Structure 1
């Protein structure tokens, strides 16, 4: 029984571990792990990646760039993309770039097995294969497990925004940090880049987890967002439009997080936190509400447009213990 060289490429330790657990027990593979596209390409060039299970959103070199490099270098790797970016255009693009299949995160073992079987990559079922892999016992941190949960959530939200606006949404690698109020101040300053902003705030609570979602729009880009939304009526104000867009994006993110960790969030009504206000004013008005917080920073960009909006998910310090408990099964 010949052993197939397999590369599992994802910047998340948890995601790689989930993929390794899902590999069919009777599939004889030699596994190489890569934390970004650059490492994956190095492994493939060395002959270690006959089959590649590839994430899309990664630092240094993303999955799209890997697929492009494979094509330009004429390397014969059989690629299955496994990603939280579930935009229809993302799926179409990776298949056009040469990927054989696309699996949406989170996936289960039967989906992976069925895909491998359909592609003719599985040998006939037999005895459990002796898998050649050295690092499958890597511990998953809370930070990594939570960031991967966020990754899936922002991908779901991007897919909805892409449909609403008719554009391709460029997904970032989310930043996840526990911040003191002063550090949060700096993070918001970075997001604002001292431009005038309008921010929508929406509280959420459920199962001992609470926080606020903050969606920041740059005022100079609001007219362009209105064009994308094909606003027909003069009665449909900028604020109504931003509130509608916020409801879609924040709601999709929170719903996906809740589904993944098996909780139900009650969401407050979205509120205008500051209109045409500099970031400093937002901080001064709200610093008492943000002390130490688990902060998620996400900056969505719209391809072909000079538009981006920044989403901050701020979880209370008391929520961290409950989130850790909820994510424990993923970290084991």
Structure 2
């Protein structure tokens, strides 16, 4: 081969390599931009706070596992707002930017998040209200019957008070965060049961914060007198922990105290006798239901068989809903609820300080 022919062959080879490299580059670009394709299989989960142990320990892993079971190619985008409504609004914006197609959100503030939900929907994103009914154009809502939760709490308090539950018996009521629509439903349900049967002598919001609840309990004791308090309604277990500490300090730790969420510490307080009851809302069925709704919405499948009822949000939107059934938990049914469902093991509950109480309750 002469020099001219050799140079021509080299030129052809280089040109072929360039075409091949360009083709490879385009394939790679498609894959990267395929991150937007993979984004079309992205589901966002936004949870409200980190002080309530259920969200990180149960809701998130259960939701993630169910999504992956139903959609192996789906990716979960997760964030926790740490109780800050502005942070949660920013997290919705981030989810929009990432190209998620469905967002399940438990709102810090159901009204404040409305504009963020509208912005997501305007981008073609479907939104599920998880555990708390957010305002705005949400596609579905999954939670428990939250007014029923309040009714169970109220009845559990009356049951624990026994013959001390009279119209003159003074009860302290510490409700949840006013901006959480569930808190209003718990309160409504509890009042439905308690009103007329006891005297709700002091009622304040504890904001889902154990320290705030403790301060309110201290104020109630100052106002009413420790010996005059016959029972305490706490809307959840986190606040009940702070309240129980104040009650113990005031020498009235045997006063019946309610809660909600079946936190490990509340189960132990129930065994020890410093909390009378909690409300068990099985996290796995709720997270599984939300994940199923999310995947159905992602795949443009009907949710009619899942969301079989309707709830009206604070913004007046009628939302297809799936409501699960809560259970009142006392010392008598620990074994048949949280242990049976493997939420906690006996070993986790029955640590050394609670060993005797566990034995007495038949757990060991």
Give the TM-score normalised by the residue count of structure 1: 0.37
Higher share of residues assigned helix: 2
Higher share of residues assigned strand: 1
Flag the structure with larger Rg: 2
Give the TM-score normalised by the residue count of structure 2: 0.35
Choose between structure 1 and 2 for higher RCO, CA contacts under 8 A separated by at least 6 residues: 1
